[in-house]
Amino acid sequence: MLTRESLQSGHYLDALELPVEHRWSQDLIDASLAGTLSARPDSDDDLWIFGYGSLMWNPLLDFDRRAFATLHGWHRSFALRSIAGRGSAERPGRMLGLEPGGSTQGVALRLAPSHRDDELRMVWRREMVGGAYRPTWARVTFGNGTQTQAIAFVVDPTRPLFERDTSVATVAPVIHRAHGSFGSNADYVFQLEAALHECGLRDPYIDALAAELRRLRAEA
């Protein structure tokens, strides 16, 4: 399981087993972070990260507020081929991302100002190790109707691991077979389903995918 200590020490990279040709250098990761911060659309002191996948149940971040929120203009999609972590080069799985259209319910994490720089580097090391995402400022709405801008890690369709077909019928058999150093790909889906339900949230795409994975497991 991914831990804060493994991220801080760098052991995360070794455990991930991501092929060197797909790894981003620390310089590229740092440049991505700097570019994202320079594009910040407002001067609000609060800085939020939007969690829609494992950041919901295993954030590993020092945050001072966690709130349910709806991200506008993006929907969950297993659009990234996973060749490490929850999959392998021999039996790739799918990683979760966000693609344009619709909306996504998740959690917004406000980074504590006293540790913000360190926490941003931590989340960039975690999410941008392969450069598969495009960090984006997007509008989120909290339960009380107030809104803010948050950083969301959306799919970059120009990257080599991008997969266009994200239908349940296509991705369920792929996820069902995939397993990597961080565990099975199917367990990731079940953890996400549980995290959503614990928050009182639903995502029809995730519910349908989890149901199909259970059917495939029962037939195996």
Question: For residue 152, what are the CA distances in angstroms to 33, 91, 134, 140?
Answer: 12, 28, 8, 10
pLDDT digits (tens, 9 = 90+) for 102-149: 999 999 999 988 889 999 999 999 999 999 999 999 999 999 999 999
State the pLDDT at residue 19.
85
pLDDT digits (tens, 9 = 90+) for 160-173: 999 999 999 999 99
Which residue bears the tokens 């495939």?
216
pLDDT digits (tens, 9 = 90+) for 37-59: 999 997 678 999 999 999 999 99
- Residues known to be catalytic: 127
Q: Are the C-beta atoms of 48 and 109 separated by less than 8 Å?
A: yes
State the pLDDT at residue 97.
98
State the pLDDT at residue 5.
85
Q: Indicate yes or no: pTM above 0.75.
A: yes
Is the pLDDT at 3 greater than 90, yes or no? no
Greatest CA span in the chain, whole angstroms?
54
pLDDT digits (tens, 9 = 90+) for 58-77: 999 999 999 999 999 999 99
Q: What is 135-186 written as a DSSP string?
A: EEEEEEEETTS-EEEEEEEEE-TTSTTB-S---HHHHHHHHHH-EETTEEHH
pLDDT digits (tens, 9 = 90+) for 192-218: 999 999 999 999 999 999 999 999 999
Which stretches does DSSP call E strand in the chain? 48-51, 63-82, 93-111, 133-142, 147-155, 179-180, 183-184
State the pLDDT at residue 204.
97
CA 187 from centroid of its chain's CA atoms: 15
